[in-house]
Structure 1
Amino acid sequence: MTMSTSPRWPRRLLAFVGALLIAAAWGAIVQTQFNLQQLLPFVDIPLRVRLQTTLHDLAAFGSLYALMLLVAWLPAFVVAMWLARRWPGVRTPLYALAAGVAVVVAIRATDAAVPPPVLIDATRSLAGLLAMAAGCVIGGALFAHWTRPAD
């Protein structure tokens, strides 16, 4: 089988997983740093503790956040794919926007459905919410780049 006739889905799946993992890691790091920043007026946090906490949250929170992104991104990427077929010149911005909007919707929907005021404390502020969404925008753009049609 030549490269041009090989199936696209394995490459798309790998790109999706890669983009999802990057966005989940970004989000885990962002939420950890926002949370630690809130503690600084009360306690000194040594760099070693900051790094240990970040690594712990990458594993613990990162996996939960990746699941949230998976659920949010699947329908968003289907819409982005459909729109990108109509407007291929804006394919990358479409996927970036889809991923960013999807996570904001997922976070706000989760906040409305669960008992605590917010599930992810960093998203209490607009800055935190946008910082979390930025990782998804990057992930969506990377997915579009990695799966772009061959020239």
Structure 2
Amino acid sequence: MENDMLEILNNVSNKKCNVDNAIKKISNITFKENIVSNDKIQYAKKIKIYINVIDDKKDGKRLKINLPAISLKFLKRVGMFGIKIASKYSKNDNKNSNQNEHIKNMSFNDLENIKYVFDALVMLPPFEIINVDSNDAKVHIYTC
């Protein structure tokens, strides 16, 4: 189809065919519609955390933490619940006074913004959020 169109246009430019015949030939060409594939787009549903650290306290042995994939919706709900509980029941001690004040002063809009972050992660295809590779540690956090 595309080759036919190019051939007709080349014939017109080389004066092998007049414009009226070219228009008739082009109108007879059947064009395929854009076919949307039936393959579903894969969206991120879970978050996966992998940590591999060399621990100097244990004579340089490797410490591997490979957490199972956690549902983003579950993580959002638990996180929101934890923030609400922390803002309600945080103690006023001098050690973490700045953190406690920040948690208590969180507004409804701040909580909504946190929800939007998780909602955005669910709407995107899987991607790597954090990738740290060094001599002492490897940290990979990605959605899947």
Q: Same fold (TM over 0.5)?
A: no
Which has the larger strand fraction? 2
Q: How does the TM-score come out when normalised to structure 2? A: 0.27
Q: How does the TM-score come out when normalised to structure 1? A: 0.26
Higher relative contact order (CA 8 A, sep 6+): 1
Which has the larger helix fraction? 1
